[in-house]
């Protein structure tokens, strides 16, 4: 967390030194750190029963004050233990796993309020809640192999503009994996029910604190009165 705080202070200082008061930007680049969780055959209840660590890097295209498109690369550690469950698997066996998941995807973001600083005629707000929805592809590295699955991330967050070009955000994302091997192949068919694209699939979540820095000034349009 000390590294994140140092990065935030550095970006705020840079933003105040180089940005113009009413200048707006087309892109931002950011990084985040937080906590990960898992739901699947080895954990069907509390998503953060066995919390892990999550990291991400992002590139965002700022369409306007309400909409953005964001590319993300996320790495998350997942783990689970079926001995925590009330139900008993066939044969009375207990299963546990540890894995790393790497997810590359794109998301569309919608801000509840027009977000920004300056341009007072637009009634911009320095903070806003937002929703995100996207698609991605995840690769899971577990003891019995490496597996790949399509993903559907669904998120809700809150962002705050700490300075003209610096944004802070907290976001919770729940990601559905269209596959049942993120927690290992052993855990895919414990009840003898064959997995499919939609059935017996795994989920994982992240709770992230992120900081981003805007760049790429937009062209300034002058309003002229005849």
User: How far is 41 from 74, CA to CA, in rounded Å?
Assistant: 22
Question: How many domains, the chain?
Answer: 1
Task: Provide the domain limits for residue 183.
Answer: 2-17+31-217
Within a domain: 226: no
In a domain, 22, yes or no: no
CATH number at residue 69: 2.40.160.20
How far apart CA 149 and CA 182 sit, in angstroms, is 8
- Burial category of 152 from C-beta neighbours within 10 Å (exposed 0-12, middle 13-18, buried 19 and up): middle
**pLDDT at res. 221:** 60
User: Is residue 74 included in any domain, yes or no?
Assistant: yes
What token pair was written down for 47? Answer: 């998503």
Q: Is residue 222 part of a domain?
A: no
For residue 12 the two structure tokens come to 């705020």
pLDDT digits (tens, 9 = 90+) for 62-116: 999 999 999 999 999 988 776 665 565 555 566 677 889 999 999 999 999 999 9
Lowest mean pLDDT among 80-84, 148-152, 192-196, 217-221: 192-196
Could you tell me if residue 25 is inside a domain? no
The better pLDDT of the pair 158, 85 is held by 158
Q: Is residue 11 one of the residues assigned to a domain?
A: yes
Q: Kindly state whether residue 200 falls inside one of the protein's structural domains.
A: yes
Nearest to 131 by CA among 146, 149, 153: 153
On whether residue 48 sits in a domain, the answer given is yes
Q: Which of 107, 111, 108, 109 is nearest to 122 (CA)?
A: 111
């Amino acid at each position: 967390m000390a590294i994140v705080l140092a990065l935030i202070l550095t970006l705020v200082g840079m933003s105040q030194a180089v940005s113009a008061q009413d200048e707006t930007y087309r892109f931002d680049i950011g990084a985040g750190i937080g906590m990960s969780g898992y739901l699947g055959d080895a954990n069907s209840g509390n998503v953060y029963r066995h919390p892990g660590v999550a990291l991400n890097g992002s590139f965002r295209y700022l369409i306007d004050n309400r909409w953005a498109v964001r590319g993300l690369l996320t790495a998350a550690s997942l783990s689970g233990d079926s001995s925590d469950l009330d139900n008993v698997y066939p044969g009375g066996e207990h299963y546990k796993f540890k894995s790393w998941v790497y997810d590359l995807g794109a998301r569309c973001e919608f801000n509840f309020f027009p977000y920004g600083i300056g341009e007072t005629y637009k009634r911009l707000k320095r903070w806003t809640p937002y929703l995100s929805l996207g698609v991605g592809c995840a690769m899971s590295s577990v003891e019995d192999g490496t597996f790949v699955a399509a993903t559907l991330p669904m998120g809700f967050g809150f962002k705050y503009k700490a300075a003209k070009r610096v944004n802070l955000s907290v976001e919770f994302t729940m990601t559905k994996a269209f596959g049942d091997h993120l927690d290992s192949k052993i855990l895919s068919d414990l009840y003898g029910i064959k997995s499919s694209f939609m059935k017996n699939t795994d989920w994982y979540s992240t709770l992230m604190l992120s900081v981003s820095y805007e760049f790429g000034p937009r062209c300034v349009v002058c309003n002229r009165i005849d």
